[in-house]
């Protein structure tokens, strides 16, 4: 897909978000510009988590997601109480902890999920940018300590 088309799809999806979405959810947007969403999940009495999502090639391929400290340092281990989608083991391609969730590039490129290609999910309800962000946030809420 042409890079300008990817950018237009990204901007259209993000442009539909309610203006108060991030503040209401406690999301700190460090960057929200194609092809990057750099978002920190915060909430009182919770361990913050910063995620950087790279949407190069959206929506022909899912975003690559990396986990970071609030200062933006790439995490080599997960914060306390990781659950569900947060995989503490090294991804076979990246060698880093990763998000193991349909809709993340790391999920679809992991040897355990090669039979679940992005093409099975792309364009379906629940797999837009806002949906993926919400799933990540819910995963963090479930496990954040």
Summarised one tens digit per residue, pLDDT across range 111-125 is 999 999 999 999 999
**pLDDT at residue 74, rounded to an integer:** 94
Report which of 34, 20, 101 is spatially closest to residue 67, judged by C-alpha positions. 101
**pLDDT at residue 59, rounded to an integer:** 92
Judge contact between 41 and 34, C-beta under 8 A. Answer: no
pTM: 0.94
Domain coordinates of the chain in residue numbers? 3-140
Q: Work out the angle at residue 30's Cα, subtended by the Cα atoms of residues 101 and 100, and round it to the nearest 5 degrees.
A: 10
User: Whole-angstrom Cα distance, residue 14 to residue 132?
Assistant: 12
Return the sign of the alpha-carbon dihedral for residues 86, 43, 47, 75. positive
Q: What is the pLDDT along the chain (145 residues), one digit of tens a residue?
A: 788 999 999 999 999 999 999 999 999 999 999 999 999 999 998 889 999 999 999 999 999 999 999 999 999 888 665 567 998 888 999 999 999 999 999 999 999 999 999 999 999 999 999 999 999 999 999 875 5
Does CATH place domain 3-140 in 3.10.110? yes
**pLDDT at residue 82, rounded to an integer:** 58
**pLDDT at residue 145, rounded to an integer:** 53
């Amino acid at each position: 897909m042409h890079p300008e088309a990817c950018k237009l799809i990204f901007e259209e999806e993000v442009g539909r978000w309610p203006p108060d979405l991030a503040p209401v959810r406690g999301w700190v947007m460090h960057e929200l510009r194609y092809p990057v969403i750099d978002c920190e999940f915060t909430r009182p009495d919770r361990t913050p988590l910063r995620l950087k999502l790279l949407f190069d090639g959206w929506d022909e391929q899912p975003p690559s997601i990396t986990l970071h400290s609030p200062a933006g340092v790439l995490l080599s281990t997960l914060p306390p109480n990781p659950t569900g989608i947060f995989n503490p083991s090294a991804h076979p391609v990246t060698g880093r902890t990763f998000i193991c969730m349909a809709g993340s590039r790391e999920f679809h490129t992991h040897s355990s999920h090669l039979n679940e290609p992005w093409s099975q999910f792309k364009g379906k309800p629940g797999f837009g940018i806002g949906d993926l962000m919400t799933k990540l946030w819910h995963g963090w809420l479930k496990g954040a300590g």
